[in-house]
Amino acid sequence: MNLKPDARLSAFQAAAIELIGASHVLTGADAAPYEVDFWKQYAGKAAFVLRPSLTSEVAGLVALAARYGVSIVPQGGNTGLVNGGIPDDTGHEVVLSLQRMNRIRAIDPAGDYLTVEAGVILADVQKAAEAADRLFPLSLGAEGSCRIGGNIATNAGGLNVLRYGMTRDLVLGLEVVLADGSVLDVLKPLRKDNTGYDLKQLFIGSEGTLGIITAATLRLVAPARERVTLWLTVDTPDAAIELFRHSRGVFGDLISSFELVSSYGVEAACTHLPGVRRPVADPHPWHILIELAWTFTSGLRERTETVMATLFEKGLVIDGTIAENEAQRQMMWRIREGQSEATSQIGYVVRSDVTVAIADIPALIARCDAFTADYGAEVSVLPFGHIGDGNLHVNFVVPKEKAKDLAPRLFESLFAEVDALQGSISAEHGVGRAKRDAIVPRKSASAMRMMGKLKSTLDPDGILNPGVVIAMPPKD
């Protein structure tokens, strides 16, 4: 189309208003919340924000975007951490929010699945499963805000990966609007379907760059009727890994979470989060939160107490306690999940998300301690997270005024250590714009080439979230 960018945007906006109504095409102050991320680390400028409520409307809007050559940024709950779900700062990108697509289309406890639209809040998916006496096991700190379409687009991990896998492992089917405005329907609730390429997998973790997810069929599992939550302390990260090895041997798949928190993080939570107290009396170097669950209503607690006695006898833990009630359990989780919030009251938090082999977690922590020591008191390192998955969030707390200078240097050092241990610089948060260039030298040339081919095949005109995950290959 031979129009200037502003004219194309105006024509698109007018057509969008006709399609979904002026009240669902937001500009100015109404658009502002869609232009900045959850932690206010990244900000952009949208031409306008679209809020469709039907798949046919999403399809119509994407077809219009293709016709007018306008880029679309799909957005769910806007809790993503890698600058992938907000527009760039040109003012030429249009945000397409899925928040009004929030219906539960079907739930079948016999088939152990439910079908939901992309804009359903994760906590509401969990509630719908619970009402049918089932569990949707995806769980993360942002679950009251993030949307299932965003979870699928980022292949979110979270707190129960150890037992139930990543989001990818929970998706049976998808409905996706493609870059030309057509709808790909691979939404069936089938567990087995070997009829060619598994197309839904292309879109899981693609961060809005290959298609817009409008609905999903999700796997449900048996409910967790008895839950036991332990808070244990150990001297060293090596002891934490030894505790993990032993616990897996005893409890196997009953462990849904195995989380590490440092002494620095625990004390920060107790100081800065209202009402939070350390679950064990004395300070200890490292704390482990373990959650066990099964489908029976009783018996797990008694078994756990017996195992705990053995842990003390064998010297595998220094101290520990079992949550006596839901309030104590919530307090333990508040400490774990409040790590970023608590430390952001001490300084600016440089957040990261990396993974190495579980056995290499102690080495990674030691290497991070070593390079941050060079900065003296200016930088505090805060490793915490899902060590049962080999996934650490190595955050750095730095003075706010020095964050711009320090953050890139700290990332460079961290990523070099992750490389040395043959890990990955993104475990569960994705790539976005934040890590787009950093993945290039770390993936094989053939993998990058294939990613480029997929992007240019599915989105030849770069309509969908351009600049996120992968730079568009030059046109022939």
Footprint on this chain of ligand FAD (rule: CB under 6 A): 38, 73-81, 84-85, 98, 118, 140-142, 146-147, 149-151, 153-154, 156-158, 207-208, 212-213, 428-429, 465, 468
Nearer to ligand FAD, 59 or 239 (CB): 59
Cβ atoms of 469 and 73 within 8 Å: the answer is: no
Cβ atoms of 48 and 92 within 8 Å: the answer is: no
DSSP per-residue codes, 16-74: HHHHH-GGGEE-HHHHGGGGB-TTS--B--EEEEE---SHHHHHHHHHHHHHHT--EEE
Nearer to ligand FAD, 158 or 265 (CB): 158
Alpha helices, DSSP H, located in 53-160:
55-68, 122-131, 148-154
Q: At closest approach, how far in Å is the CB of 85 from ligand FAD?
A: 3
User: What is the rounded distance in angstroms from the CA atom of residue 388 to the CA atom of residue 464?
Assistant: 35
Nearer to ligand FAD, 129 or 140 (CB): 140
The amino acid that residue 45 corresponds to is: K
Q: At closest approach, how far in Å is the CB of 212 from ligand FAD?
A: 4
Nearer to ligand FAD, 151 or 380 (CB): 151
Nearer to ligand FAD, 142 or 322 (CB): 142
Nearer to ligand FAD, 300 or 337 (CB): 337
Distances (CA, A) of 426 to 177, 299, 358: 26, 38, 15
Q: At closest approach, how far in Å is the CB of 473 from ligand FAD?
A: 19
Q: At closest approach, how far in Å is the CB of 343 from ligand FAD?
A: 13
Q: At closest approach, how far in Å is the CB of 78 from ligand FAD?
A: 4
User: What is the rounded distance in angstroms from the CA atom of residue 321 to the CA atom of residue 333?
Assistant: 14
Nearer to ligand FAD, 74 or 347 (CB): 74
Q: At closest approach, how far in Å is the CB of 299 from ligand FAD?
A: 29
User: What is the rounded distance in angstroms from the CA atom of residue 85 to the CA atom of residue 207?
Assistant: 8
Cβ atoms of 429 and 353 within 8 Å: the answer is: yes
Q: At closest approach, how far in Å is the CB of 465 from ligand FAD?
A: 5
Q: Please give the structure tokens belonging to residue 469.
A: 């995950």
Q: At closest approach, how far in Å is the CB of 303 from ligand FAD?
A: 28
The amino acid that residue 396 corresponds to is: F
Residue 152's contacts (CB-CB under 8 Å, 6 or more residues apart) are 118, 167, 171, 174, 203, 204, 213, 216
Nearer to ligand FAD, 276 or 468 (CB): 468
Angle at 425 between CA 170 and CA 252, to 5 degrees: 45
User: What is the rounded distance in angstroms from the CA atom of residue 276 to the CA atom of residue 266?
Assistant: 10
447 CB neighbour count, 10 Å cutoff: 11
Nearer to ligand FAD, 154 or 229 (CB): 154
Q: At closest approach, how far in Å is the CB of 337 from ligand FAD?
A: 7
Helix (H, G, I), strand (E, B) or coil at 177: strand
Nearer to ligand FAD, 171 or 300 (CB): 171
Which residue of this chain has its Cβ atom nearest to ligand FAD in the complex? Answer: 150
- Residue 313 burial by CB count (10 A; 0-12/13-18/19+): exposed, middle or buried? exposed
Nearer to ligand FAD, 183 or 212 (CB): 212
Q: At closest approach, how far in Å is the CB of 459 from ligand FAD?
A: 12
413 CB neighbour count, 10 Å cutoff: 18
User: What is the rounded distance in angstroms from the CA atom of residue 406 to the CA atom of residue 411?
Assistant: 9
Q: At closest approach, how far in Å is the CB of 205 from ligand FAD?
A: 9
Distances (CA, A) of 161 to 138, 154, 156, 238, 358: 8, 14, 9, 22, 14
